[in-house]
Amino acid sequence: NYQGDNGWYSSNGTNGDAIKGMASGNYDNYKGDDISWIYYYGNNTTTIHTFLTNDLNFEYQGDNGWWSCEK
């Protein structure tokens, strides 16, 4: 269902240009599909941020992400 012009998520601290990819899938073997963002912070630092579904909404899994790499 369309969530309106404001969407279902907003943040003053997120740079949309730094989101390099998005994916969905059932990451935790729960009922619904979850989503993830591949976020590039600069200085060769990338993190995958994950939002898990709980049947009503998506719950952000924290700033540390599920995977991070610094080179």
pLDDT score, position 9: 66
pTM: 0.73
pLDDT score, position 38: 94
- Quick one: pLDDT band at residue 1, thresholds 50, 70, 90? low
Name the nearest CA neighbour of 30 among 53, 51, 50: 53
> d(Cα 68, Cα 45) in Å, to the nearest integer?
7
What value does the mean pLDDT take over residues 28-51? 92
Using one digit for the tens of pLDDT, what is the confidence trace for 2-38? 677 777 666 677 787 888 999 999 999 988 899 999 9
DSSP-assigned letter for residue 31 = S
Domain spans, the chain: 16-70
